[in-house]
Amino acid sequence: MEYRQLGRTGVQVSELCLGAMMFGGPTDEAASIPIIDAALDAGVNFVDTANVYSRGRSEEVVGAALGANARRDRVVLASKVHGRMDDDDPNAAGNSRRHIAAQCDASLRRLGTDWIDLYQVHRPSPAVPIDETLRALDDLVHAGKIRYIGFSTFAAWQIVESLYVAKELGCNRVVCEQPPYHLLDRRIERELVPVAQTYGLALIPWSPLASGFLTGKYRRGEQHPDDSRLARQQGGTREYGEAAFAVLDVVEAIATEKGCTPSQLAVAWCAAQPGVTSPIIGPRTMAQLEDNLGSIAVEITGEDCARLDAVSPPGGSIVDYYRADFGPSAR
């Protein structure tokens, strides 16, 4: 396992980040904790969750795993705020000072820790000025409840605006962005990647496997497997047509040549792209974790990139993931 600098901070994080969205939901606590243990044993020191994942259960499971292993001090622990946490309370969502302060305390309780290393705003909010959000986050840094500030699925212009406002206010600035990024949606290469490289932001992409499509488990003209993520998301707006399967064909061909799985090839490609710090893997099972970890041994060559660029144009989009706007969650 290699370690990379988290943006302009002095923190070193593993080249893969363990995403906890499945824990406490599709994967119960009894099955989740061994997965977390195995990831830490393999050298992963970066774990990402969110308050909205199973309405707090993911954070509870992560907290139980870290507490049980006495490894909290060695883990760079990330969580998020923004999603709705109460259906009946109009203030139980968004990026207001009220919601951020309340949810940070709630996340700390669920995680069983005194601090969160990286606290991220899960999505933009049009109703809340960015200065209110930044001041609230800055207060949490000064209170010792969080160490660093991040965003998830913000547009490049929104990040630059936040950097300007943070400078004007003398606040702590954002240190990373968490966008969707994979071979079916490469639009962040147009503006977001250059912004991150210019201003020293870490990029920790979510869904490097395009909701599992790039694992090869989906076939042309066939129904999605019952246990797959796309089967659980039936009724969504994403369409995986011939262009997506053409990408998968090349991924599978290169993977066969290298003696690895398609998912390992896809994660390795994501991790090798300019500006990327740590792709987020989101295993549901131990077998998926073991497969994902195998990606660190896969070398991506210039020839591999050229073959993939031919079916997945740089800066282009085949399936819509990067909704960096004020719309609903893209995850």
Q: Which of 53, 119, 148, 321 is catalytic?
A: 53
Q: What CATH number did the domain enclosing 163 receive?
A: 3.20.20.100
pTM for the model stands at 0.93
Which token pair is 26? 């599709």
Residue 319 lies in a domain: no
Residue 256 lies in a domain: yes
- 204 vs 60: CA distance, rounded Å: 23
Q: What's the confidence (pLDDT) of residue 239?
A: 78
Residue 325 lies in a domain: no
Let me know if 119 is a catalytic residue: no
Domain that holds residue 33: 3-311
Which CA distances in Å does 33 have to 23, 69, 250? 8, 10, 35
Which CA distances in Å does 155 have to 82, 190, 322? 16, 11, 9
pLDDT in tens, the chain (331 residues): 999 999 999 999 999 999 999 999 999 999 999 999 999 999 999 999 999 999 999 999 999 999 877 789 999 999 999 999 999 999 999 999 999 999 999 999 999 999 999 999 999 998 899 999 999 999 999 999 999 999 999 999 999 999 999 999 999 999 999 999 999 999 999 999 999 999 999 999 999 999 999 999 888 766 656 565 555 555 455 678 999 999 999 999 999 999 999 999 999 999 999 999 999 999 999 999 999 999 999 999 999 999 999 999 999 999 999 876 554 443 4
Residue 317 lies in a domain: no
Classify strands 76-81 and 116-121 as parallel, antiparallel or unpaired: parallel
Residue 224 lies in a domain: yes
Q: What's the confidence (pLDDT) of residue 69?
A: 73
Residue 322 lies in a domain: no
Helix residue ranges per DSSP H, the chain: 29-41, 57-69, 97-111, 130-142, 156-169, 192-199, 229-232, 242-258, 262-271, 286-293, 302-311
CA nearest neighbour of 319 among 227, 217, 265, 248 = 248
Domain count, the chain: 1
Spatial neighbors of 205 by CB under 8 A, at least 6 apart, are 178, 179, 180, 181, 182, 188, 270, 276, 279, 280
